[in-house]
Amino acid sequence: MTAQLSKKGEAWSARFSEPVSDLVKRYTASVFFDKRLALFDIAGSLAHAEMLAAQGIISAADRAEIERGMAQIKAEIEAGSFEWLLDLEDVHLNIEKRLTELVGDAGKRLHTGRSRNDQVATDIRLYVRAAIDDIVTLLHTLRGALTDLAEKNADTIMPGFTHMQVAQPITFGHHMLAYVEMFGRDAERMLDARKRVNRLPLGAAALAGTTFPIDRERVARTLGFDDVCHNSLDAVSDRDFAIEFCAAAALIMTHISRMSEELVIWMSPRVGFIDIADRFCTGSSIMPQKKNPDVPELARGKTGRVYGHLTGLLTLMKGQPLAYNKDNQEDKEPLFDTVDTVIDTLRIFADMAGGISVKPDAMRAAALQGYATATDLADYLVKKGLPFRDAHEAVAHAVRACDDAKCDLSEMSLERLRAFSTLIDDDVFAVLTLEGSVAARDHVGGTAPRQVRLAIERVRKQLMEQGTQK
């Protein structure tokens, strides 16, 4: 369908005998949210016009007029003076109508060989691609900030937990690097999704392709796409790339939310492992003593809405027969909100990482409770020749005795320890200390401060390489 903009502006109104009601107009219009795609829409139109001219489908003069008009429209949008009209339904028709106002017939020729169906699919792909690039950069910044925090705390001992119970001593640096790994995979996932985002739908037209001798590869090159979509029905109808993006975004939020949960717990006065700088916290309107970790709490909460958007998009897609259906217009708000939420959250977290202060004494005191070095004692006995299961049993008895005596394993006398195994000598105390325990886990991926430093080196190299790739 070649758009003929009527006087009233609708692209299709000549076919209709009565206008739609105001309610229907509002219900079906998307301009108030899809105007956000305007600059991508213009970029797509310019590439399309360039190709039409190169193929002799429109004249060079028409192309020049289209470029002139689009330059003015872009300036108007950036200046905030562009008038968006609900009557013109969406971003595409608003821009096309203004173009025709500015340059006349050349503007009316722009839509040759194209439909809003392939146009909108192209716009969204350009939008998602730009969002991915921003998100990957922010993940990079956040990883850098967390690595700085890890470096400062490569030797800071804290309890490591399983089942929320003290398990074994670890270093805070190691704990931070766990998140550095997660956010690294998140960036990989985004970049992998980008490959499937970066394909050009234009040329599919409404659904079947077009009768004009278009050059899709040329448009793809102009817009920086790696390839064209190879089936026109698929090109206009599937939003799997947006769903995949939202799934990767949901995983970022999963990691953010786990970290948030920990920050909230650690900042609770009962735990008191860290403090978060005042600029990320708020007080209570009634309890003057309160300082609440609002930022991590909100991030944990906002994770829910990103999950919701993913579910929304999956559900939006599942019932649609090929090819394009108006249902797809509903892809935008969830997508936009996902991008906004993830970008704001990553930005604030990268900043907040520098505002986390660690309380090593509280961490240490907590690590001394709960017999965190019991596994070290068992390993010690194994190294002296006892089978692991027997060592486990001997240490369990020792822990029980400590429980009764209200002391730590390291506070028991050698004589008392030897009651559980005569293999124990006075070299045992080296493994029962927190420092000895963490230092002994000295292999790739282990918590030993030496390994934490090596891991930091590895991450820094990675970050530097990624930084220079840009």
Residue 178: HSE in the Cβ half-sphere, 13 Å Cα cutoff: 13
- Interface with ligand ARG (CB under 6 A), residue from 94, 117, 156, 210: 117
**Residues of this chain, 89-108, that bind ligand ARG according to CB under 6 A:** 90
| Minimum distance of ligand ARG from residue 51's CB (angstroms) | 20
| Minimum distance of ligand ARG from residue 246's CB (angstroms) | 17
- Which x/- pattern over 167-206 shows residues binding ligand ARG (rule: CB under 6 A)? ----------------------------------------
- The residue among 270 and 326 lying less far from ligand ARG, judged by its C-beta, is 326
- The residue among 326 and 470 lying less far from ligand ARG, judged by its C-beta, is 326
- The residue among 147 and 328 lying less far from ligand ARG, judged by its C-beta, is 328
- 134, 150 Cβ separation under 8 angstroms: no
Closest CA to 455 of 442, 470, 438: 442
Count of residues for the chain?
470
**Residues of this chain, 32-71, that bind ligand ARG according to CB under 6 A:** 34
Q: Is 284 a catalytic residue?
A: yes
- The residue among 7 and 326 lying less far from ligand ARG, judged by its C-beta, is 326
Rounded to the nearest 5°, which phi and psi values hold at 65?
Answer: -65, -40
Q: Where does residue 118 fall: left (phi above 0), alpha (psi -120 to 50 degrees), or beta otherwise? A: alpha
Q: What is the total count of residues that contact ligand ARG (CB under 6 A)?
A: 9
User: CA-CA distance, 319 to 316, in Å (whole number)?
Assistant: 7
> H/E element holding 80?
none
Choices 50-58, 104-112, 116-124, 341-349; region in contact with ligand ARG by CB under 6 A: 116-124
| Minimum distance of ligand ARG from residue 36's CB (angstroms) | 12
Q: Count CB-CB contacts under 10 A for residue 393.
A: 16
Choices 171-179, 309-317, 321-329, 456-464; region in contact with ligand ARG by CB under 6 A: 321-329
- Interface with ligand ARG (CB under 6 A), residue from 163, 326, 406, 443: 326
User: CA-CA distance, 45 to 40, in Å (whole number)?
Assistant: 9
- The residue among 21 and 468 lying less far from ligand ARG, judged by its C-beta, is 21
| Minimum distance of ligand ARG from residue 329's CB (angstroms) | 4
State CA 323 to chain mean position distance.
29
**Residues of this chain, 71-90, that bind ligand ARG according to CB under 6 A:** 90
1: helix, coil or strand?
coil
Q: Does 163 bind ligand ARG (CB under 6 A)?
A: no
Q: Which residues contact 314 (CB under 8 A, 6 or more apart)?
A: 243
Q: Does 210 bind ligand ARG (CB under 6 A)?
A: no
What are the tokens at 154?
Answer: 């490569």
- Interface with ligand ARG (CB under 6 A), residue from 120, 229, 398, 455: 120
Choices 112-120, 151-159, 386-394, 413-421; region in contact with ligand ARG by CB under 6 A: 112-120
Closest CA to 62 of 115, 109, 119: 109
Residue 428: HSE in the Cβ half-sphere, 13 Å Cα cutoff: 28
- The residue among 116 and 143 lying less far from ligand ARG, judged by its C-beta, is 116
> H/E element holding 292?
none
- Interface with ligand ARG (CB under 6 A), residue from 45, 232, 303, 328: 328
Q: Does 329 bind ligand ARG (CB under 6 A)?
A: yes
Give, as one character, the DSSP assignment of residue 20. Answer: P
Choices 130-138, 156-164, 326-334, 410-418; region in contact with ligand ARG by CB under 6 A: 326-334
Q: Does 30 bind ligand ARG (CB under 6 A)?
A: yes
Q: Count CB-CB contacts under 10 A for residue 315.
A: 11
Helices (H) and strands (E) in the chain, counts: 20, 6
Task: Return the amino acid letter for 470.
Answer: K
| Minimum distance of ligand ARG from residue 320's CB (angstroms) | 12
| Minimum distance of ligand ARG from residue 328's CB (angstroms) | 5
Name the active-site residue from 17, 81, 163, 285: 163
User: CA-CA distance, 363 to 272, in Å (whole number)?
Assistant: 8
Q: Count CB-CB contacts under 10 A for residue 354.
A: 12
- The residue among 114 and 300 lying less far from ligand ARG, judged by its C-beta, is 114
User: CA-CA distance, 168 to 377, in Å (whole number)?
Assistant: 12
Q: Count CB-CB contacts under 10 A for residue 309.
A: 24
Q: Which residues does the annotation mark as catalytic?
A: 163, 284
Residues that bind ligand ARG (CB under 6 A): 30, 34, 90, 116-117, 120, 326, 328-329
